[in-house]
Structure 1
Amino acid sequence: MASSRDRQRKLARAKLDRQLARRAAAAKRRRQIQAAVGAAVVLALVVLGSAWGLGAFDRDPAANNAAEEVCLWTPQDATANTNLKDVGTPDTTGLPTSGVRAMTVTTNQGAPITVELDLATAPCAAASIAHLASRSFYDNTKCHEITTEGAVHCGDPSGTGLGGPTYSFYDENVPTAASPSPSAGPAPGQPATYPKGTVAMVANPPGANGSQFLLFFKDFTTADPKYSIIGRITGGLDVVEKIGALPTVDNGTGAKVKPKDDDVVIQSLTVGEPVAQGSTPTPTASAAGTSSASPSAG
């Protein structure tokens, strides 16, 4: 029989063998886990690198510009001002901020008046007018004033100068004041603040634009600009000049600006889709089913 000491040595040897086996197995498992983690990290880096190279993280400037461009439509109380007309509000985001939109104003005074709305400098005004036009807001309304500044004043369904939609928006493109000459008049050779053919918004009160706009039939220069320029007349300027030459009478407030004999009526106002600057807009159907003609140079 083996001595007690031999048995102890065998037991100790078996214990050591078991410990070494467990350590070897644990080391193998660690190496396997480390290899798997390393492979996953490498794979992730490869995927991210490929996505980066393919532009997955690139931003689309045009899309983001449209998404970030927000027009604030401030609610107006129709109970406090019964001249306001509720036709909802335009979108606040995703609005076009480059190019132009064609606006066609058909009146009872002759050929249609075509306008190019500037989306870069007045995106909110263009969005508002397009929204209102889609609701037939301007149809069968009067241009109630021929202003002393040399513009035809339109866009108020109430004909009072106090009407508009149940929202307003801020000025966008008010020109800088003209530099006065020593004689207190415009400096010689200085461009007009509002050149003939300019289209501008009328805010009442100042800074609270709604639906009213001006069609300038002559140059107007002022040291106190207050109208946002939103575009230019591209056709039918002779019609605007004809309207501007109509006799006027007192409008009830002491100002002789109301057309005397003939009401100037907007029969329809339509706005086309946005196009790039310099492109020819395609005809766009109005809410009444007619088409707006492409603007011609004027």
Structure 2
Amino acid sequence: MKRMSALCALAIAVASLAPVTSTAAERPTSVKGCAKPTAKAHVPATLKQPTSVDKKLAKTMTITTNCGVITIELDPAAPQTVTNLATLARSKYFDGSFCHRLTTEGIYVLQCGDPSAQGNGSPGSWKGYKDENLPTKKILTYPAGTVAMANSGPNTNGSQFFLVYKDTTLPPSYTIWGKIKTGLPLLLRIEKVGAYQVDQSTGNAYYAGDGIPVQPIEIKSVTVR
């Protein structure tokens, strides 16, 4: 589940305009109850990177989106990752950003955590940090409800993470740092609406098994306790 680098900021801007049209006989283009997003893609903030683990690890993360709330039980088996993500949350790093990637075929995840919305952003000045708590199962490595880090290779973690909404098998290469406690039904509703990509030659949007969520998902705030 590597960081997504093929999508551009222009495509994200198009997302808020609901580019994929639908008839009554086709799939919907929005999730009931979602508010119109107000966020804009922006340069990731530059923050001081933690060099040690918090003495008292946060236990719960609450992600408030324009479509509802997702709560995550944080896993102490990934202490540096939890520390780093808690630092980002307390600094409001995630606030006003989009979940930029949705996959609905093969693997089933919603990917978030890049304020630039291009799939290659990370906190300014941060260096990639170590993998932790990697799966030990050989087949079902990331069951539904798992929350894990996205990366571009070993020990390259930054701020991007993915929420697994259906059982998914991936290489055991992505740090597991939490479990979804509430919000899984919301993710399943987002999946039903689907994902899209934009044909760069024509500017037309089309449904895709891996792309931008048709229903824009905006992170309003992230808190930890």
Q: Same fold (TM over 0.5)?
A: yes
Following TM superposition, where does structure 1 have runs of at least 4 consecutive aligned residues deviating by more than 3 angstroms? 82-85, 93-97, 251-256
Higher gyration radius (CA): 1
Residue 176 of structure 1 is matched in structure 2 by 136
Which of 119, 122, 128 is 2:78 aligned to?
A: 122
Cα pair distance change 1:150/1:260, threshold 3 Å: closer
**TM-score under structure 1 normalisation?**
0.53
1:122 and 1:128 map into 2 onto residues whose CA distance is: 10
Which of 206, 222, 225 is 1:269 aligned to?
A: 222
Residue 133 of structure 1 is matched in structure 2 by 89
Higher relative contact order (CA 8 A, sep 6+): 2
Which of 151, 161, 164 is 1:213 aligned to?
A: 161
What is the correspondence of 1:158-237 to structure 2 with a 5 Å cutoff?
Answer: 158-165=116-123, 166-167=125-126, 168-176=128-136, 178=138, 186=139, 192-222=140-170, 224-237=171-184
2:199 and 2:56 map into 1 onto residues whose CA distance is: 41
2:173 and 2:155 map into 1 onto residues whose CA distance is: 8
Does the 8 Å contact 2:98/2:114 carry over to 1?
A: yes
1:248 and 1:93 map into 2 onto residues whose CA distance is: 37
Q: What is the aligned residue count?
A: 174
After superposition, the C-alpha distances for 1:16-69 in whole angstroms (9 at most, x for unaligned) are xxxxxxxxxxxxxxxxxxxxxxxxxxxxxxxxxxxxxxxxxxxxxxxxxxxxxx
Which residue identity does 2:224 align to in structure 1?
V
Which of 108, 111, 121 is 1:150 aligned to?
A: 108
Structure 2 portions without partners, runs of 5+: 1-41, 201-205
Q: What percentage of aligned pairs have identical amino acids? A: 37
Does the 8 Å contact 1:199/1:216 carry over to 2?
A: yes
Which residue identity does 1:109 align to in structure 2?
C
Does the 8 Å contact 1:95/1:123 carry over to 2?
A: no
After superposition, the C-alpha distances for 1:206-254 in whole angstroms (9 at most, x for unaligned) are 42101111110000124x2221111100111111222222221126799
**TM-score under structure 2 normalisation?**
0.70
2:61 and 2:46 map into 1 onto residues whose CA distance is: 22
What is the correspondence of 1:1-298 to structure 2 with a 5 Å cutoff?
Answer: 84-93=44-53, 95-96=55-56, 101-110=59-68, 112-119=69-76, 121-147=77-103, 148=105, 149-165=107-123, 166-167=125-126, 168-176=128-136, 178=138, 186=139, 192-222=140-170, 224-250=171-197, 256-259=209-212, 261-272=214-225
